[in-house]
Amino acid sequence: MPGRRHRESGGTMGILRTWGVAAAVSLGLAVMSGQSAAEQAKGANTAAPVEAAWPAVIANEQGGSASLSKQQIEAVNKVSAYFNSIDTLKGVFLQTDPDKKQAKGKFYVKRPGLFRFDYGAPTKKVMISDGRFLAIQDPDLQNPDTFELDQTPFRLLLQKDVDLMRDARIVDVKQADDLIVVALQDKSPDAPGKIQLFLSTKPEVTLREWVITDAQGLETRVEVSDLDRSGAGVDPRLFIRDNPALKKL
């Protein structure tokens, strides 16, 4: 997940790559019955009759998306509408890195553009976006690594007006039972890689997890749970980088 760094560090790109995203932007339900949404989606081609009528959607060389069916467009628009409906969100995340190492923590989101991921022990790293810059703060390092938010996939999901049909290259769209899977790429050449979004549709559209594939083909999965959209506990000070007042929250 390359970006314009404001401090050079040999390990920075590795940290961004293993964290994944977006990103996102990214925000979901807990994995049910020990099976991730990604694992459920592996059977989408045979489990859902509608999928058989959907051709694979591959981004074309001109930077747009290949021809989409009406059902696929509706599915992508549902995903955009879901992100547009989010004002604040907090929950718990479980990240699985390409080497299968896992990390847990809490996250906070406030659209547009604000988010914070607090990693638990042993790393205790913090990732904060103040709407313009994304900073990775490590308690063992004096200075954080900082990237422009627009150079990361997070901008697609947490900008003021989320429109994936307009702003992303749609790589693939699948639907099986109560699951929508949308794979997309940022149109910007500064943000290579692919994001797969896994959303449940019952009782309502909700992001369950996302998988980031970086330019080297390495995958990072982030699953989220214990979601709260009430706004309680999402203090604006959480999104201020290097804020000493956070110790009092």
Work out the end-to-end distance of the chain between its first and last CA atoms, rounded to an integer number of angstroms.
31
- Give rounded-to-5 percent helix, strand, coil for the chain: 25, 35, 40
Residue 39 has pLDDT above 70, yes or no: no
Task: Tell me the mean pLDDT in the region 20-43.
Answer: 37
User: How far apart are the C-alpha atoms of 80 and 156, rounded to whole Å?
Assistant: 9
User: How far apart are the C-alpha atoms of 60 and 171, rounded to whole Å?
Assistant: 9
Residue 114 has pLDDT above 90, yes or no: yes
User: How far apart are the C-alpha atoms of 5 and 185, rounded to whole Å?
Assistant: 21
Q: Mind listing the pLDDT tens digit for each residue in 188-221?
A: 766 667 899 999 999 999 989 999 998 889 999 9
Sequence letter at residue 157:
L
Exposure class string for 99-127: b at 16+ Cβ within 10 A, else e: eeeebebebbbbbebbbbbbbeeeeebbb
What pLDDT is stored for residue 27 in this prediction? Answer: 29
CA-to-CA dists, residue 232 to 28, 57, 88, 116, 219, angstroms: 17, 40, 9, 15, 33
Token pair 């896992």 in the structure block, residue: 102
What pLDDT is stored for residue 113 in this prediction? Answer: 95
What pLDDT is stored for residue 13 in this prediction? Answer: 36
User: How far apart are the C-alpha atoms of 220 and 44, rounded to whole Å?
Assistant: 21
SS3 96: strand
Q: Which domains does the chain have, with CATH numbers?
A: 12-226 (2.50.20.10)
Entry pTM: 0.73
Query: Which is higher by pLDDT, 90 or 153?
Result: 90
How long is the chain?
Answer: 249
pLDDT band at residue 61 using 50, 70 and 90 as cut-offs: very low
What pLDDT is stored for residue 191 in this prediction? Answer: 64
226 φ/ψ angles, rounded to the nearest 5 degrees: 55, 50
171 φ/ψ angles, rounded to the nearest 5 degrees: -90, -40
